[in-house]
Amino acid sequence: AQSVTQLGSHVSVSEGALVLLRCNYSSSVPPYLFWYVQYPNQGLQLLLKYTSAATLVKGINGFEAEFKKSETSFHLTKPSAHMSDAAEYFCAVSEEAAGNKLTFGGGTRVLVKP
Partner 1 sequence: EAGVAQSPRYKIIEKRQSVAFWCNPISGHATLYWYQQILGQGPKLLIQFQNNGVVDDSQLPKDRFSAERLKGVDSTLKIQPAKLEDSAVYLCASSSPGGANVLTFGAGSRLTVL
Q: Which residues bind partner 1 (CB under 8 A)?
A: 4, 6, 9, 32, 34, 36, 41-46, 49, 51-52, 90, 92, 94, 96, 99-107
The residue (of 14 and 26) whose beta carbon lies closer to partner 1 is 26
The residue (of 19 and 92) whose beta carbon lies closer to partner 1 is 92
* Least separation in angstroms between CB 109 and partner 1: 9
* Least separation in angstroms between CB 83 and partner 1: 22
Residue 87 and residue 32 in contact, taking contact as beta carbons nearer than 8 Å: no
Q: Which DSSP symbol is given to 61?
A: G
The residue (of 11 and 44) whose beta carbon lies closer to partner 1 is 44
